[in-house]
Structure 1
Amino acid sequence: MCETKMNRRDLIKNLATICGVAVANSMVSIPALASAKAFGEKQSGKSPTLFSGDNLAILRQICALTIPPTDTPGAAEVNCHLFIDHQLSTVYSSEQQQSAINVMSAINLASEEINKQSFVNADKTSQLALLSMLEASKAPFSETLRSDFKTIKGLIVFGYYTSQIGATKELTYLAVPGGFKGSVPLTTVGSAFSSKAYY
């Protein structure tokens, strides 16, 4: 989403902490990064292709709860819900797309059963309690739904921290990390690294 260059290794490490190594690697694959860049270039006037209006509203609220606004805009304000819709539509399989839709439907159904109202209309405390139940795969949520929800959370983090706000305002941003020092004598650098360990 952001035009600035990201450190792919750090991004994978942070995503792996949240959603596991396999999911993190799939999110920052070459096709996923290319799709994220395309979303950033075409974001204005972007309309969802995968989620219906109700499911998109649920996803937007989950984004808002996952990374709420502070002194910088939160995930919902930078349109992470539209980013997730885009990524799922362009990078993920039809089975994975359906799994994400199923998660939104299950969250809303559980809210109607437990809170007697839709997820979007429930108060924030009830919404967080419901998502905590999903995180713990407590009834009515299954382990499969919990696993699919991890992918969505990972996409929220990926979307937010590759957005312009996330990359330049929330994170410490330096166009040239460490600065540029030209004409450095080799004696101050020392021996260059080699692949001696392989011989």
Structure 2
Amino acid sequence: MNRREFLQCAAVMVSGMTASQLGLALSDAQRAHLATAPNYNAGKASYLSAAQRRILAAACETIIPRSDTPGAIDAGVPNFIELMVSDWFNATERAIFDAGMIDLETRIPQQYGMAFDRLTAPAQRDILEALESAASDHPWYEFGNVQRDFISDAPFICQLKELTIWGFFTSERGAKEVLRYNPMPMQFDGHLPLSPNDSTWAGVVES
């Protein structure tokens, strides 16, 4: 499976929708991958430094914090992101990610007097919101659905948010403890009513 197919599969898995709903025809190899893929979060990452791992973990947890449901750290998202950057990013994407991590690692201590991961949760949130505000005119914010490819020139904050969401909702804990999980739905009902408090379903089903 190549990089494009992997990212396409990840988009389908996160959407909680069927391939037919997305207008997306999955190949036999892609279907086999979705059915048998190992826990990618469990792989050993070795791309970032220890300090960068702490920063990344804090940033992910700011995006999906622990509450009455698991947070990004609980679901193994920081490790997932590190693996994605090292194994699947192209040179352009990796350079943007590296620059973003260096910015958090060097600028924040100069500005706040301590590392990003040691700041209070509100301060961490303010920093990420400032990054998002600065990037808000990028086409990444116009995608509107999951049928696009991964945008290679997306700013660091966009990469961070997208990978955090992918990593969380494709993890076992995200799927089973946040989404509603039924490993054998047996059928697809495109008109199943949802209440305002209902989450989407985990996994991919076919009509």
Alignment of 1:8-157 (within 5 A): 9=12, 11-12=14-15, 37-38=37-38, 40=39, 43=42, 46-137=43-134, 147-157=155-165
**Distance of 2:14 and 2:184 partners within structure 1:** 18
Structure 1 unaligned spans of 5+: 1-5, 15-29, 181-199
Q: Deviations over 1:66-123 (max 9, x none)?
A: 1111222211112111111111111111332232121111123332232121111222
Q: Deviations over 1:145-179 (max 9, x none)?
A: 97222012101100100000111110011123365
Q: CA RMSD in A?
A: 3.3
Q: Using structure 2 for the length normalisation, give the TM-score.
A: 0.61
| Same amino acid, percent of matched pairs | 21
Aligned length: 151
The alignment partner of 2:134 has SS state of coil
Distance 1:128 1:146, change over 3 A: farther
User: Rg bigger for which structure?
Assistant: 1
2:183 equivalent to 1:175: yes
The alignment partner of 2:117 has SS state of coil
Q: Higher helix fraction: Structure 1 or Structure 2?
A: 1
Aligned letter for 1:160?
F
The alignment partner of 2:80 has SS state of helix
Q: Using structure 1 for the length normalisation, give the TM-score.
A: 0.64
